[in-house]
Structure 1
Amino acid sequence: MNPLAQYDTVIVGGGPAGLTAALALTRYRHRTLVAESPAPPRNQASRGVHGMIGLEGATPAEVRARAWAELDGYGLAERRDVTAEDVTRAEEGGFHVTLGDDATVWSRTVLLATGVLDIHPAGVEGFAECWGRTVIHCPFCVGWENADRTWALVADDPDYAATAAGKFGAWSADVIAIAPPGMDRAAETRQDLRAAGSDLIEGEIARLHHRDGDLHTVEMADGTRVERQTLLWSLPQQQVPLVTRLTETLGLALDEDGFVTVGTDNQTSVPGLYAAGDLTTQWEQGAMTAAGAGAAAADAIHFAHSR
């Protein structure tokens, strides 16, 4: 590939946000490059995408394959299975995007659609096997698949732990909270939960007992065992290395929780650099939301190019 290959937009990330943006930009007749990391995607543990009309239950791999079959029909979007290592300003305007295969391309605009990285708990035996199946991060995503089971909400915040008493009743009539030792207002939270027919268990989770990813018992570090079939566990998250680097080199702004700030046009604090999807929001993560953000970003990019 010519190291000076030029594109209208380089999209970093080939998930729902990036691919939806690529399709929209293609239909605007933009020449687009999608740099998709060869590493396993964050949603690889998902057994199916839900809430996207026409794609109900399709695996993430099936969604990607379908998207690229559609994009290839237009011939304007190029896919490269490579990590984007850096984005720098070009003297002539636009950006240089350095790729993991040592190629550098030029683009008028760049869209970050990298998603985020989930930080899995260290030393919890059985977590990986249950993750995405019976240890879930989002009830709206896979609550249906875990309906009518016994749940536990893993929380280190007393206000969030208190929601176990009723917030998830659409999926389970038996939800308790599990909190680390020493959580603030633990006694008060336990009393409130018990009054509502729930409970609070304090302790460090050491092991998840399961059958092929089907959880049945949570074992605490002190040996206590709690029979639960589903854990709702929202993991801490961090930005991918590229995004962290851009905060230092381009001054890319993050909010107080570490998520990329964008305006109503999905443009970041860096003119010409856009962002869409999970890297911009902590509480509205999901395929449908990300796809909508990708479409909105594509519209904004097109209209910016048209000026």
Structure 2
Amino acid sequence: MPESKHFDVIIIGGSYAGLSAAMALGRSLRNVLIIDSGLPCNRQTPHSHNFITQDGAPPEVIAEKARAQVLNYDTVKLHNDLAVSGTKTENGFAITTGSGVIFHAKKLIFATGIKDLMPGIKGFAACWGISVIHCPYCHGYEFRGQPTGILANGDRAFHIASLVNNLSNDITILTSGKAGFTEAQRTKLHKHSIRIIETPVTGIEHGNGHLKNVVFDDGSRMHFTAVYAVIPFTQHSDIPVSLGCELTEQGYIKTDSFQKTTVEGIFACGDNTSPMRSVANAVSAGNFAGAMANMELTNEQF
């Protein structure tokens, strides 16, 4: 546990965005505490892609290397714990952890990510991040030319289909109910030989997370190698909202172009602020959030 309980900045979340923010601050000699629970949302994903210099590396390998580099900066500390609550104080903020320790900081950066809400489909959670996937840029190349499903409906399904169409000529949209496409969308899907199945999906047959068949409620099965899925999410931490940070209509933490939230002194970065869920985007946003927090501290002290 860190000896001091007072810091310039507390970063909640120690994955790519949080570590990137910490590096920017550590290089400016800011006293920084990273609080991390050790449960990243991509912990089931076997390989990370679309991030130069690290393409194909396991996510945890990237994170371990990042932690080691960030903690080389003497003013950056890591506390393995869960942040459970936060309050405003006269000089900034106080964060209480699950073990009951209270830390103080002038600024906060939330890099807490989001929590995916798994549907009641047998086998879905076991395949999530392995063969049931969310992003063509992160995973699509590895499943190129393979039988591909899209578990979504309406505009979201149509959007994914347009992206995946360049990766496979065997695509089926699984709407799990009445399809919600416009006539223009249906015409374009038909033009590209993209099938639509409305029968509800009830299960996924797999081997160690690697998809074999999708099971429908009429007992039929269909083989896929990969299924893209659009599922709801919630913020992984409720502390930002409890401190007054506004959310967007989609449920992300609202930030401006400087990664500032709607509460003075609080920044946010990574998956909790953007639908672009990638390592590259998280690193970029975290680096910028750290720099902007440092700029605020500089303006207040200089």
TM-score normalised per structure 1? 0.91
Distance 1:149 1:201 in 2: 18
How far the C-alpha of 1:281 sits from its partner, in A, is 1.5
Residue type of the partner of 1:208? Answer: I
Distance 1:217 1:33 in 2: 45
1:6 alignment partner in structure 2:
6
Aligned counterpart for 1:125 among listed residues 108, 115, 122: 122
How far the C-alpha of 1:251 sits from its partner, in A, is 1.8
How far the C-alpha of 1:29 sits from its partner, in A, is 0.6
Distance 1:229 1:98 in 2: 44
Q: Which moved more, 1:60-69 or 1:291-300?
A: 60-69
Residue type of the partner of 1:116? Answer: I
Distance 1:162 1:56 in 2: 28
Q: How does 1:30-45 map to 2 (within 5 A)?
A: 30-38=30-38, 40-45=39-44
Contact kept in structure 2, 1:9 and 1:110, CA below 8 Å: yes
Distance 1:254 1:273 in 2: 13
Distance 1:239 1:273 in 2: 16
How far the C-alpha of 1:108 sits from its partner, in A, is 0.8
Q: How does 1:209-220 map to 2 (within 5 A)?
A: 209-220=205-216
2:93 alignment partner in structure 1:
95
Contact kept in structure 2, 1:9 and 1:33, CA below 8 Å: yes
1:108 alignment partner in structure 2:
106
Distance 1:301 1:17 in 2: 14
What secondary structure does 1:167 align onto? helix
Distance 2:95 2:43 in 1: 26
How far the C-alpha of 1:133 sits from its partner, in A, is 1.6
1:256 alignment partner in structure 2:
249
How far the C-alpha of 1:298 sits from its partner, in A, is 0.8
Residue type of the partner of 2:206? Answer: H
Give aligned pairs, total: 299
2:70 alignment partner in structure 1:
71
Contact kept in structure 2, 1:162 and 1:192, CA below 8 Å: no
- Alignment gaps of 5+ in structure 1: none
Q: Deviations over 1:159-197 (max 9, x none)?
A: 333346543133212112110212334887556533431
2:153 alignment partner in structure 1:
156
Identity of aligned residues (%): 29
Change (3 A) 1:68 1:74: same
Change (3 A) 1:164 1:111: closer
1:46 alignment partner in structure 2:
45
RMSD of Structure 2 on Structure 1 (CA):
2.0
Distance 2:273 2:22 in 1: 18
Distance 2:3 2:199 in 1: 54
How far the C-alpha of 1:242 sits from its partner, in A, is 2.6
Aligned: 1:207 with 2:199: no
Distance 1:188 1:209 in 2: 34
Contact kept in structure 1, 2:136 and 2:163, CA below 8 Å: no
Contact kept in structure 2, 1:190 and 1:199, CA below 8 Å: no
How far the C-alpha of 1:214 sits from its partner, in A, is 2.4
Contact kept in structure 2, 1:3 and 1:105, CA below 8 Å: no
Distance 2:180 2:162 in 1: 21
1:304 alignment partner in structure 2:
296
TM-score normalised per structure 2? 0.92
What secondary structure does 1:42 align onto? coil
Distance 1:213 1:113 in 2: 27
Change (3 A) 1:261 1:233: same
Aligned: 1:235 with 2:231: yes
Distance 1:22 1:299 in 2: 9
Residue type of the partner of 1:104? Answer: I
Distance 1:4 1:76 in 2: 11
Aligned counterpart for 1:294 among listed residues 282, 286, 301: 286
Residue type of the partner of 1:296? Answer: F
Distance 1:234 1:48 in 2: 20
Residue type of the partner of 1:12? Answer: I
Q: Deviations over 1:122-149 (max 9, x none)?
A: 1x22223322121111110011221111
Residue type of the partner of 1:171? Answer: L
Distance 1:303 1:187 in 2: 51
How far the C-alpha of 1:218 sits from its partner, in A, is 1.0
Q: Which moved more, 1:231-240 or 1:106-115?
A: 231-240
